């Protein structure tokens, strides 16, 4: 989660939006608002390579986002 929080305010709108969405999904999952399967699928959608590669303009930021999202997936 630390990586995701660090991305908010990084100046890269594509990364900021995805990091915020990942954190919101984590909160929804923790509150029981979405199932584990939905949570996994939605998080994976955030870092789908084909879509992310088209938007990512900074590989270090992209790597940070992917690391943060996969960190959340390890908790499920």
pLDDT digits (tens, 9 = 90+) for 12-71: 999 999 999 999 999 999 999 999 999 999 999 988 877 777 778 888 899 999 999 999
- Rounded-to-integer distance, Cα 17 and Cα 76, Å: 22
- Rounded-to-integer distance, Cα 63 and Cα 66, Å: 5
**Residue 11, by phi and psi: left (phi above 0), alpha (psi -120 to 50) or beta?**
left
Its domain, for residue 40, covers 2-75
pLDDT attached to residue 27:
97
Entry pTM: 0.86
Domains of the chain: total: 1
Distances in Å between the alpha carbon of 39 and those of 13, 43, 61, 66, 69?
Answer: 22, 6, 22, 15, 11
pLDDT attached to residue 1:
83
CA proximity to 60, closest of 25, 11, 22: 11
pLDDT attached to residue 44:
93
Question: Is a pLDDT exceeding 80 seen at residue 9?
Answer: yes
């Amino acid at each position: 989660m630390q990586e995701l929080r660090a991305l908010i305010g990084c100046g890269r709108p594509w990364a900021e939006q995805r990091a915020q969405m990942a954190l919101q999904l984590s909160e929804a999952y923790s509150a029981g608002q979405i199932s584990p399967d939905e949570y996994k699928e939605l998080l994976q959608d955030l870092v789908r390579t084909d879509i992310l590669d088209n938007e990512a303009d900074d590989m270090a930021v992209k790597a940070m986002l992917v690391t943060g999202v996969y960190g959340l997936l390890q908790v499920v």
